[in-house]
Structures are given as C-alpha cells and as structure tokens.
Structure 1
Amino acid sequence: MSLSSTARDAMQDVMRLEGAYIGGQLVSLDGAECVPVISPRDGRSLGVLHASDEMHVDLAVYVARSAFRTSGWATAPARERGEVLKKWALLVGENAQELATIISLEMGKPVSQALNVELAAVEKCIRWYGELADKLSDKLIAHEASVLAYSVEAPAGVVAAVVPWNFPLTMTAWKLAPALLAGNSVVVKPSEQTPFSALRLAELAGEAGLPAGVLNVVNGLGRDAGQALGRHPDVDVLTFTGSPVTGRAFMKYSAESNGKRVWPELGGKSATIVLPDADIRAAAASAAENAFFNQGQMCSASSRLIVFEDNADEAVAAACEIAAALQPRDPLDAGTAFGAIVSAGAVAGIEAKVADALEQGAVLAAGSPRRAVVQGLEGGSYFAPVVLDHVDPDSRIAQEEVFGPVLSVIRVSSEAEAIRVANDTRYGLAASVWGSDVAAIHRVTRAVKAGVIWVNCYEEGDMRLPFGGVKESGFGRDKGADALHKYTDTTAVWMKLDG
C-alpha cells in the first residue's frame, strides 16, 4: 500500500531523528550500536535507533544535573515554568498530525486514535500541569504566635523516566509534565520500539522555551541505557511504566546504587464484574471494547469478563459482536479502528497464550488463534480480536498479561465468587463493576483490590484523578496534583520568632 504525503513527511522526519536529544539539540552518537526499528504496519525498516550506552547516559545525566544547577529552571517561579508548559502544549497541538503518524508507524496504533486519543491526551496533560502552576504553594502550619511553621516542596533534582511503547507520548507526558513543573531536569528513555516520537516531543519542548539540558532523551536497549539510568548515582528519582520483572530490577538497581526513589507502574489483569441486575449487553460490549482498544496493548485493558452463569451466554454474544466488528486494517488509514500488534514477536506470544488457553479447556467464541493478514501489508504484525469462553480462572490466560486483543470470559455463580476471582491475581491496577443495586455495587467496589474502579463505565477519567495500582501493579500515582510529590523533596521549617 502506498503512503500518504503526511506519512511520507513523517518518514522523512524519522530519518532525521536517529540520535539522542541532549543539551537542547539532537546529537549523533558516534560508535553507537545501530538497531533497526521495524514498523509493525508492514514489517519494513522504519529507521535506525542509535542505541545509547552507559557513556551516553552518563553524558545526559551530567547535562541534566548541570542544567538543574545553572539554567535557572529549578529556581524560577512556578508560574514561569507553567507558561513554558502551556506553550509546549500548544506546539503539541499544532504538530499533532505529524506526531500521530510517527506513533502509528512505530507501534501500529490506528492513526486516528493516535491523533484523537493519544495526542489529545498529551496536549491536555501538559496544558493541565501548566495551568496548575499558579495554584501551588507551600503549606503553612497553624501554631502559636511565637512560631512560624511551614513545609516547602523543592525539586528533587534529576529525574529518569523510562516509558513504554503502547502509549509512548501519553506515558511520557504523564511523567514529564509534573516533573518539569516541579523544577526538575529529566532524562527520558523511550522504548526501543518507539524512539522517534519522543525525540520530536523533546524538540517541541525546546521550541517552547525549555532551557537547554532540562529535558534530555536517550534511546537505547533496556539492558544498556535502562540499567545505566537505574544504577546512576546522580539520578534522584526514577519513574517507570512497564513489566513487573523490569520494575523489580529498577528497585534492585536503586538499592545497589544511591537509593534513588523508584516509582513503578507495572501492569494489570483488570476485571469487569457484571452483577445480575446489570445491563448485560452494555457491560459485555464495554468489556470487549476496552479489551480490544489499542489492540489490547494496555495495562488497564479489561481482559477478564466475570459474569454470572445465567447471564453468560448473552454477555458472550455481545462481546462477539464487538470482536467481529473490529478487524485489523492499515493503521495509516483514517478509517481504521483496529491496527497492528507492536511486533512479530508479540504476535507469537499472543498465539502461544491463546493456544495454551484452548488446551486448558477454554472455548473459542470469536476470532482465530492464528495471526491475521492484511492485504497489501502481508509483512505486518496483525492479530484479530479473540473472545474465549469458559476460561478457568486459574489458567495462564486468566492470570498473566496477554498484552493483546483477548477477552477471557469467566463464569461464576455468586457475588462472593466474582470478588474472589477478580482479586485472585497478583495485579491490582483497574476494575469495572456493572449493576443497578447501589448496595451491591458498594459492597463489590469496597472488596475489589484495585487502584482504579469504574462503575457502569470503563476508562473514564480526569486529569485531577490519580492513576495507579496496588499489589504487583506497582505504587505511586500518575496524574493529578499529587503526582508532583513524586518529584519533590519536602522540608519542614520551624522558626522561633520570639528571639
């Protein structure tokens, strides 16, 4: 399939974005390992990642520390930092089509969703924190007249942000915007699958007036660049979204180096619980839509549909209708609602987990257990939505993140069993409860262990509300004013006034 002029322009930009962004400019990395970046759209090379190693990471951290000390960003009034963020948000909006196209080429997201969901969220996030700036203040503690007591929030210093590929710029913005507003300098390591969009976002920050060195981007492999950031003695805070294995590694690196604060968000196995008095079809359709959105590549994907036996057939039928309507298409087509899986290896992993579920007794209600093929894009990585019925709650498919478009239907016979099944996983990121009996909804939401619970909806939200999980889904929260505290140091001041 031929590329549009917008896509061709994005490809040309990608060819320019092959190094790192350090000290306010793109820099080439002489001698760096060159890693081809393969587009899941068609299996062709999108460009070359110049992989940063420990030396390049050390340079980026040094530049970030120097900027923290000398650029004036850390000591500027918060409202001035907020103005830069607001200008940055405007530039993101003006360049959204270009950024959306790069994301679609990098990881296979439909370009319409990259534009209208991801880039809209990025712009909103950066602008929201910019507008928060004039509402920040130190906390004064009431005490007797002879004492002045207050607490001060100061920037922590150098923040490392290691971000995933599934929402590459949304996750970056969630971490960058509060860290920068707080006055920190930041070094970002994007996923090696999505290296180019982050470089372009950093360029726009520089155009908005962010001082050179305050924001730096080092692309590279996790074993090299990621570990170097995790172990670096001059990184004060590390924030990460990704797998539990990598999250635990970062906590280990912290313990073995300078004890830096680590804020991990580590995935989920989210459940939609459908109570007997719910709108069964609406609940099941919502579960399917949110299991398949972004090709199921979401930590908060509604991957488990827990439904009472008497309502299960109706729920499965509704979910299958959604699956049938969402078939893989060219991600760059503006009308596409379901795009590519991030890589051929990811497709193979989904195939293996679906095959294992079928061997364990699950029933294939919709979709195919094999990779899909899109005409004209035969080299791409595609997998159509799958609905599995009669899934054993203890099976691998019900316990592990699939990170693909698979909805597992688990039949239960009681409210207590529904709660037990929902909680019987190492994760605790998100959940949804559907019903009309307020007392029952209240009981279930109080009993389910999750950082976010939606009632009669899914994936609704607001920048003011925190996002994060419990159990092995991590700790700490992105979004909201409280996210600033991840990137600040608190000092209590007690001043005696009577001499």
Structure 2
Amino acid sequence: MDTRQDWITRANALSPKNDLFISGAFVPAESGDRFDTIAPRDGTVITTVARGQVEDVDRAVRSAASAFDSGVWSRSDPRHRQQVLSAFSDLILEHREELALLESLESGHPIGDALNVDVPTAARTFRWYAEALDKVYDEVAPTPRSAMATISREPLGVIGAVVPWNYPLIITSWKVAPALAAGNSVVLKPAENTNLSALRLAELAHEAGIPAGVFNVVTGLGNEAGQALGRHPLVDKITFTGSPAVGRLFQTYAGESNGKQVALELGGKSPHIVRADVQDLEACATAIAWGIFYNAGQTCHAGSRLLVHESIHDELLAAIIRVGSSLVLGDPLDPATQVSAIVSERQLERVLGYFDVARQENASFAMGGKRITPAEGLESGFFIAPTILDHVDNAGRIGQEEIFGPVLAVSTFSSDAEALALANDSEYGLAASVWTQDITLGHQLARSIRAGTVWINTFDVSDVIVPFGGFKNSGFGRDRSLHALDAYSALKTTWLHLGPDVLS
C-alpha cells in the first residue's frame, strides 16, 4: 500500500499540463498571463496556469460552435458517442492515480477519497450516460389519422460549464457527461483553485476519440474567463455550481447577452431533524459527523445544521463528539487521512471569521473552533479542527449562512411542528435528513421540507441514477439522472401531414 512519502514523491515529480485546452491541443493564453495554483496542504505553488481571458474564451467557444455545426459529434450515431464515452470512462480509470493526485494536491481532498471515490465516481458517470444513449427513446404524439407528429431531442449547441473547487472531477462529470452524451460541445471553466485535473481530463477525452473542439477547457479568473463565458453570444447554456452571488451574475450575463439558458446549483444549509425516537443513535451520530466533517465541510449539501429533540440533545451531542474526535486529521497525501485541508487561505480566514460571529451570537464551542497543524511539515497549510457550535440561534448568521467548513450548528426543538419550521427557516433548500422510527411521520416531514433531496434514517447516500439540485436560493435545474439528458437537449416537434385516410 502506498505511503504518505510515496505520494509526496509522486507529487514532487509531477509536471502537469497547465495551458488552455482548445481545439484538441494545449495552447497558452493569448496575453501570455499566468497565475499560481496553490497546494492547500502546505501553501506552496504547484505550478502556474494559463490565465484565459475574453479573447481565449472567444477562441474556445468558436471552436466548440464550429465543431457542433460540422456535425462531427452533434450528428454522430448515438452508438458512436456511446463507444467513445465508454472508452473515455476506461481511460479515467486507467489514469486513476494521476487524476487522484492532481485532485488531492489542488483541492486538499484526502488522497484516499480522491482515489477511491472521486475518480471512480467520475468514470462511472461518463459510463452511465454512455450506456443510457441506446435506452432513451423519443415520442410519437397522439395525432389525428391525417397526420403524424414526432417529438425528438436535439442537442442545444455550446454548453458553458463552470464548476467549483470542492469536488472538481465529480461535479465536472455531472455536467460534461450528459452534455456530451446529448451531442453538445462543451467549454469548461474550472474553479481558479482547481484546474489541473480538468486539463488532464480534457486531454484524455480527446485521446478517447472526442473530436477536437467538442470539449475545451479555459482556465482563468471568474471575473474574466467566467464572465466572458456567461456573456458569449454563441453559448447556448450555462451550467454553474457555486455561490448564490455568482449564480445571480450568470443570470445577469445571460439576460444582457443572448438570453441563454442558465442552470444553477448554489449551495445549502442542510438540516438533520433528529426525533426523540431515533432508533440507532450511534449510527445517526456517525452519519451526522461524517456529513459535516467529510472534505472539511466543503460540501454544498453538508449536513451543517443539527435540529435535535431537546430530550436527547446531550446524548446525541456526546456521540457526535466521540465520532468527530476519532476522525484522522492530516496531510491530504497521507492515505490514513480522513479530514484534511481547507482549499485556500482565503477560505480558511472566512471560516475562522465565523468563530467570532458565533461568540457574538452566544453559541458555545462544544468541540474544535481553531486552526491546527495536523502533521509534521505542514505548518503553513490550511487546516481547521472539526468544530461543533451548540445552542445556535437558527435565525442568526451561524444558523442561516453557508460557512463551507467543518462546522456543525446545533439547535433543539420540542415538537415536530417546531422542527419542520426550523428546517424550512432558511433561504436554502438543497438537502435535509429526518431520523425517526416512525416511517409514516418521516415521509410526512420529508414531503414538507423544501429541499431537493431528503434522506430518511441516513445521509449523503446517492448515485448518478437520481437527480441532484435544490429549491429556493439553492438554485434550479438538476444534475445527474436521465433528467440531465433532457436538460442538455431541446425538444423538436416534426408534424407530417398524411392527408385523408384512404383506407377508411
């Protein structure tokens, strides 16, 4: 089994591709400008990346539009696209260690999770959409006998995909796989912090047989490359995962340019409702701890609010602290690490700032609440101890704002009606969970919670087979499932006049 030192040695030997990927080749930004990509584990520079700007986005989009218009991919046989995407999935798995290392270095995600979860999930997503292509049928409408009308799906055109830094490979696959499967061309803009796995992914896609121009990657800053992609008149749809503020900007860009479609997933403040009759309190505590401390809490649907019945508050909180204290904090490149780094110094300072807010709001620190140095040689890395804030006012900033760090906010309730009101008292509506032995009541609560996903007696168990997205300020549109194929398609009606029924 590879050790921490093995992974560090591989990281030191890396020479990752760091230019733009346009028309099937790596090219520098026209300006020649570059920016640093930083390793969260120790704050060092991994490499410099091309700083794509308006002219580079234009080049990528025009390449994508030209490829789309040529029909080399957009009008290819679905079986051909199926074969190519399946080959792409195979290549992702063949390069599993390389992609996992790039992911871990840039995002701070534990190497064990990158290797065993992130890369296989991305590969499975591309394969799943490939396999779906010969199992999705179009429709024939119930017309009069004098006509026949078909309803068919056609690709939209050029898709601009803007993805976040917390799960780069997974979320990229959620957007790019169905978009390519449907026959579109894609311009991907990765987050500023995490570019290297996206660039390697595009190179592997080209190697698998995806034609030049069909899948392009423009690295750059959000207010430059991201805005240019959002405003480009040849982009037919923007799909974005990130903050509500930036999501609103993409709506503005669309409205001020060509009225392109926009699909947004904008984070959450997901609650656990734990009733007094929870059957397995230890299992519940384990799910809650992992749900907020996994990936250092940098998960859009992280279970960041615990709403617990007052009668079991002390017992459940003690159990969560036991689980949280047992998790191994360390170097992202250590296979034993379970909770690792915050993605950047900026995000670290943001999370630490909420601890001052917690004190102002009279929340108590049941666990954590400080910056840490988890391993030898990582004194300059970006790490925060898993933190639990008790006696949180759900109406305050700690109860309402997405902290995006390893911070659990705990509040109590005395009735189911109060629990439901607290759960829905949020601008977000991405996910939630209900813990109860009463399955009927659990279903009733699930139906009444305004969230895109509600788990009952579990948390964060999911798959590409089901849609993912939210209500309210968590955005609109859905990633994953067969519904995503429709999201990257346009419906076309073809009405054929047959004339009088000569056989009647």
TM above 0.5: yes
Partner secondary structure for residue 134 of structure 1: coil
Q: Is there any run of 5+ residues in structure 1 with no aligned partner, and where?
A: none
Contact 1:451 1:467 in 2 (8 A): yes
Deviation per residue, 1:289-336 (Å, 9 max, x gap):
101111100001000110011110011101111221124201101111
User: In structure 1, what is the equivalent of residue 113 of structure 2?
Assistant: 113
Question: Does the alignment pair 1:201 with 2:201?
Answer: yes
CA distance in 2, matches of 1:17, 1:137: 40
CA distance in 2, matches of 1:17, 1:456: 44
Give the C-alpha shift of residue 10 in structure 1.
4.8
RMSD in angstroms over aligned alpha carbons? 1.4
Contact 2:29 2:53 in 1 (8 A): no
CA distance in 1, matches of 2:160, 2:202: 14
CA distance in 2, matches of 1:281, 1:126: 36
Please list, as runs of the form range in 1=range in 2, the aligned pairs for 1:203-352 lying within 5 A after superposition.
203-278=203-278, 279-352=280-353
Please list, as runs of the form range in 1=range in 2, the aligned pairs for 1:27-42 lying within 5 A after superposition.
27-42=27-42
CA distance in 2, matches of 1:268, 1:207: 37
CA distance in 2, matches of 1:301, 1:361: 23
Of 314-323 and 154-163, deviating more is 314-323
CA distance in 1, matches of 2:373, 2:71: 51
Please list, as runs of the form range in 1=range in 2, the aligned pairs for 1:153-232 lying within 5 A after superposition.
153-232=153-232
Partner secondary structure for residue 306 of structure 1: strand
Give the C-alpha shift of residue 287 in structure 1.
1.1
User: In structure 2, what is the equivalent of residue 357 of structure 1?
Assistant: 358
Partner secondary structure for residue 227 of structure 2: helix
User: In structure 1, what is the equivalent of residue 475 of structure 2?
Assistant: 474
CA distance in 1, matches of 2:229, 2:346: 26
User: In structure 1, what is the equivalent of residue 422 of structure 2?
Assistant: 421
Residue identity in the other structure for 1:294:
N
Partner secondary structure for residue 169 of structure 1: helix
User: In structure 2, what is the equivalent of residue 80 of structure 1?
Assistant: 80
Question: Percentage identity across aligned positions?
Answer: 46
Residue identity in the other structure for 1:190:
P
Question: Does the alignment pair 1:57 with 2:29?
Answer: no
Residue identity in the other structure for 1:443:
Q
CA distance in 2, matches of 1:371, 1:407: 17
CA distance in 2, matches of 1:312, 1:9: 46
CA distance in 2, matches of 1:478, 1:31: 34
Of 147-156 and 230-239, deviating more is 147-156
CA distance in 1, matches of 2:215, 2:25: 10
Contact 2:37 2:46 in 1 (8 A): yes
CA distance in 1, matches of 2:166, 2:259: 29
User: Kindly tell me: are residues 86 and 25 of structure 1, through their superposed partners in 2, closer, same or farther at Cα, counting changes over 3 Å?
Assistant: same
CA distance in 2, matches of 1:277, 1:410: 17
User: Kindly tell me: are residues 186 and 257 of structure 1, through their superposed partners in 2, closer, same or farther at Cα, counting changes over 3 Å?
Assistant: same
User: In structure 1, what is the equivalent of residue 99 of structure 2?
Assistant: 99
Residue identity in the other structure for 2:138:
D
Give the C-alpha shift of residue 44 in structure 1.
0.6
Contact 1:6 1:98 in 2 (8 A): no
Give the C-alpha shift of residue 71 in structure 1.
5.0
Partner secondary structure for residue 133 of structure 2: helix
Q: Is there any run of 5+ residues in structure 2 with no aligned partner, and where?
A: none
Partner secondary structure for residue 335 of structure 1: coil
Contact 1:326 1:385 in 2 (8 A): no
User: In structure 1, what is the equivalent of residue 17 of structure 2?
Assistant: 17
Contact 2:330 2:374 in 1 (8 A): no
CA distance in 2, matches of 1:412, 1:280: 17
CA distance in 2, matches of 1:78, 1:339: 42
Contact 1:10 1:98 in 2 (8 A): no
